[in-house]
């Protein structure tokens, strides 16, 4: 077994510097997943394009799914109507973290729907360009985990 691999909850792993780590992994409920995702602003959209897996970072807003603002003719916009994966995670130096993975279709958001969303302009992309096309991931599957790694000295 790889000494750096994370094991099941409660497993101890050698860190390579003679300190052992004990980890606890717990499964998140769908509601807990949504709470964590709602607190973050950057995630990754995954899909297959040109026979290769693509993973693209995006800014997003939770609004009856995951609202993404993108280029009208960009690689993400080309996935409209297709199934995608969406991943968000967080960790800190103390060893606490979480990860949420969603799957579902990426749907067009029309002007009528956009008017119903409270301030869709809050989805401010880091990347430049005219990003005025809105898509929504409507998750059909949501899974998540919380991890707490304790380092013993």
In tens, the pLDDT along 122-133 reads 555 666 666 668
Distance CA 96, CA 99 (A): 11
Query: Domain spans of the chain?
Result: 29-152
Distances (CA, A) of 86 to 68, 78, 121, 127: 11, 16, 21, 18
Residue 55 has pLDDT above 90, yes or no: yes
- Looking at every residue in the chain, the average pLDDT score rounds to 81
Distance CA 138, CA 69 (A): 15
Residue 8 has pLDDT above 50, yes or no: no
Domain 29-152 has CATH 2.60.120.620: no
Provide the whole-model pTM. Answer: 0.76
pLDDT grade for 63, boundaries at 50, 70 and 90: confident
């Amino acid at each position: 077994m790889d000494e750096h691999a994370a094991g099941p909850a409660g497993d101890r792993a050698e860190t390579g510097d003679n300190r052992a780590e004990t980890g606890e992994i717990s499964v998140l409920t769908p509601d807990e997943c949504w709470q964590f995702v709602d607190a973050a602003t950057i995630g990754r959209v995954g899909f297959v394009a040109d026979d290769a897996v693509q993973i693209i970072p995006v800014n997003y807003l939770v609004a009856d799914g995951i609202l993404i603002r993108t280029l009208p003719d960009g690689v993400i916009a080309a996935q409209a109507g297709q199934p995608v994966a969406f991943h968000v995670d967080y960790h800190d130096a103390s060893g606490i973290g979480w990860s949420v993975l969603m799957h579902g279709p990426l749907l067009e958001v029309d002007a009528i729907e956009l008017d119903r969303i409270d301030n869709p302009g809050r989805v401010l992309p880091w990347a430049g360009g005219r990003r005025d096309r809105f898509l929504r991931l409507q998750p059909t599957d949501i899974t998540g985990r919380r991890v707490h790694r304790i380092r013993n000295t």
